A and B are shown apart, each in its own frame.
Chain A
């Protein structure tokens, strides 16, 4: 029962964010107008991405520790396969949220960022903002991870080598997500040239009270929903692995 509680909590919080985020009267911030409500849906996607990639790299590290001869192995070989499945499925969920974050960002940017373009263009689906670029690059990195996985025939070798790549990729993700976007000028409020001051990744202090009581629950809700998606995927993959072993 307790195991399933987080799913109810996630669904409830996301539902709350959907209803309250659209219904509450909020102060209008600068040129964004009413589109600033997207902060309740676009930003949480990236929190979910970071959490999912964290789960993935955690499982990759665990996998490598389990294959180490010095490590006292408690489980059987099946545990190893499950850890690899956890690493790859959480990366898959992370990629899903990465795409969702890009799409919600594109919709938002079309409404608010047209002022960054020449006067005769209003279709700001994509303006090569630093954070957009970094998000796209992180997507490429994880697509490369899945390409690497698909080239191996041997399961154990696949698991081990893709774990190594996953950890290495996660290390380069840190400058991509947390350092470079703050160094370069761009349209996001975190950029170096922003009117909002920039620098801080979450503008918690600058959001009014009405914003934060929807914003933070929404982040927690989307992270929990992401974990739910991951758990479903992971269990499906584990079942199909067991079935293919029995055949």
Chain B
């Protein structure tokens, strides 16, 4: 099982590296969003009125749409035959787990890169960097855990891409409410101890949802 997960993960990374257009596309998308946001808050060459709250809301909206694109690739992007071939080579649950891990790692990396450039361009200061990074890590993991199964569900239906957004957005709200608050607290310099229950809640939602996904995935991969 562990070897299979490693093999599928390796395959995902190699594929991503070979067809760079997907990753580059995402990074370019993030860059465009950040520039648009920064420009719209610009007045006389200065960023004004961008409060920590607005900053965090916009940041997580960017990441939410990044997550949709990242996750859509894992099941909707693949052709049916390819996935079946993959399930023949490795345990389907291992394939699913590898894809979920890959999604969360990719989401966390993109989150950190875009967070860095977004901070730089909007001239915001993070008072508590550790909490900020922890928020991106737990939030990225929870979003990936939430959306990977939904992507597998949506890939079975008609009108896949719209359905993916409709099915997953309401489910992500418990995570988003908490990570937006956490990001704001990190920008304003609150400590981890003040926010421990939120961090635990986001991580807990991620862990519970990934376990539930692992139980449920065997029922849907076959048809």
Contacts and interface: CB of A to CB of B under 8 A. Distances in A.
A217 B219 CA distance: 41
B149 A168 contact: yes
Given A151-B158, A183-B197, A169 B171 contact: yes
A157 B205 contact: no
A168 B150 contact: yes
Contact of A160 (B158, B169, B220): B220
Interface residues of A, number: 30
B213 A168 contact: yes
Main secondary structure on A side of the interface with B:
helix
A133 B157 CA distance: 29
Which one of B157, B158, B208, B212 has the greatest number of beta carbons of chain A within 10 Å?
A: B157
A175 to B, nearest CB: 5
Interface stretch (A15-23, A43-51, A141-149): A141-149
B3 interface: no
Given A67-B219, A137-B170, A179-B201, A165 B159 contact: no
Interface string A148-176: 10011000010011011101110110011
Interface in A169-207: 169, 171-172, 175-176, 179-180, 183-184
A151 B223 CA distance: 15
B166 interface: yes
B153 A144 contact: no
B159 A161 contact: no
Most central of B174, B201, B212 by chain A CB within 10 Å: B174
With most chain A CB atoms within 10 A of its CB, the pick from B156, B158, B201, B223 is B156
B223 A168 contact: no
Contacts of B198: 183
A176 B197 CA distance: 15
Contacts of B157: 148, 151-152, 161
Nearest to B217: A164
Contacts of A165: 150, 153, 167
B188 to A, nearest CB: 17
A171 B208 contact: yes
Contact of B174 (A64, A147, A172): A172
B94 to A, nearest CB: 19
B187 interface: no
Nearest to B209: A171
Contact of B220 (A151, A161, A172): A161
Interface string B152-167: 0100111100010011
Interface string A43-67: 0000000000000000000001001
A32 interface: no
A64 B222 CA distance: 13
Contacts of A176: 173-174
Contacts of A141: 170-171
B171 A172 contact: yes
A64 B166 CA distance: 23
Nearest to B218: A68
A117 interface: no
Interface string B132-155: 000000000000001001100100
A161 B156 contact: yes
19 contacts: A137-B170, A144-B170, A147-B167, A152-B157, A161-B153, A168-B149, A168-B171, A168-B212, A168-B213, A168-B216, A169-B171, A171-B208, A171-B209, A172-B209, A175-B174, A176-B173, A176-B174, A180-B174, A184-B177
Q: Which 7 A-B pairs have the closest CB atoms?
A: A140-B170, A151-B157, A141-B170, A175-B174, A164-B216, A172-B171, A151-B158
